Structure 1
Amino acid sequence: MPSEVRGKLTIFDRFATTTATLTSKAGFFVFCVLLVVVWAPTFLVLPSIDTWQLVINTATTIVTFLLVALLQNTQSRSDDAVQQKLNAIADALADLMGELSADHPELHRHRAELADAVGLEKRESA
């Protein structure tokens, strides 16, 4: 589960995380394969080949549509958590470079480059 950036997870966020966890397991893939295996012989009982294709197309389209929305939620929260961690590392590195710059004057320039690259001052003042 991605680290939460905003605090407590909402019901939808918990549902999306659980769904992402379940769909990433082998069991979900096996379920999908079994669904296709069960669907394939139904052309014998459905009135036309068009109906037969419509059944699987509709089912897979609905599942795909819903999963994309849920997985995007999880991915966005994961991206936010990673960005927050990278920002914390950059802040800590800049602080360390600032403390060591008395002994190593070239670190002033490197610290300024780091601050410009990740926007430390802009974030600190906001």
Structure 2
Amino acid sequence: MPSDINARVGRFDRFSTWASKLTGRPGYFVFCTLVVLIWAPTFFVFEKLTWHLIIDTITTIITFLMVALLQNSETRNEAALQHKLNAVAGGLADVLGHLAREGGDERLNERRSELHRAVGLEDDEST
């Protein structure tokens, strides 16, 4: 594991990973569809203003929390993928540097330099 990566995963990260896996399954979609189908007829039972307020509040809270959980999971996945790409690019640059020294091919040395510049480029270009 690269030295700049912390292998310790906190409770929130584990929970967000679990939530992401759960909500990404077809069964969860079926569950949500069933909830909507059960909820829809109750619209006529309750007073409309109260009913709208309750449903709007609940769905807003759930949406807000799910966005936070899923964003955490997505951010960690993107960071892991970027570390892997940097490791591959760094290794390939080393191989190209070795080949350039053996064969004296300047084009390989230029490619090696480009790859070395690309490693960590996301840190320089991100806002």
Distance in 1 separating the partners of 2:120 and 2:21: 34
**1:30 CA drift (Å):** 1.2
**1:39 CA drift (Å):** 1.3
CA RMSD of aligned residues (A): 1.6
Distance in 1 separating the partners of 2:38 and 2:92: 57
Given that 1:97 and 1:107 are in contact with CA atoms closer than 8 Å, whether structure 2 keeps it comes out as yes
Q: Which residue of 1 aligns with 2:74?
A: 75
Given that 2:90 and 2:115 are in contact with CA atoms closer than 8 Å, whether structure 1 keeps it comes out as no
Q: How many correspondences in the alignment?
A: 115
Equivalent pairs: percent with the same residue? Answer: 50
Q: Which residue of 2 aligns with 1:66?
A: 65
Deviating above 6 A after TM superposition, structure 1's stretches of 4 or more consecutive aligned residues are: none
Distance in 1 separating the partners of 2:104 and 2:34: 64
Normalising by structure 1, we get a TM-score of 0.83
Distance in 1 separating the partners of 2:6 and 2:76: 9
Matched letter for residue 52 of structure 1 = W
Given that 2:23 and 2:29 are in contact with CA atoms closer than 8 Å, whether structure 1 keeps it comes out as yes
Distance in 2 separating the partners of 1:15 and 1:60: 20
Greater relative CO (CA pairs within 8 A, separation 6+)? 1
Matched letter for residue 30 of structure 1 = V
Deviations 1:29-48, CA, capped at 9 Å, x for gaps: 1111111111111123212x
Given that 1:39 and 1:56 are in contact with CA atoms closer than 8 Å, whether structure 2 keeps it comes out as no
Q: Which residue of 1 aligns with 2:51?
A: 52
Distance in 2 separating the partners of 1:119 and 1:42: 54
| 1:43-122 → structure 2 map (5 Å cutoff) | 43-47=43-47, 49-101=48-100, 102-105=102-105, 106-119=107-120
Distance in 2 separating the partners of 1:34 and 1:109: 59
Q: Which residue of 1 aligns with 2:22?
A: 22
Unpaired stretches in structure 1, ≥5 consecutive residues:
121-126
Normalising by structure 2, we get a TM-score of 0.82
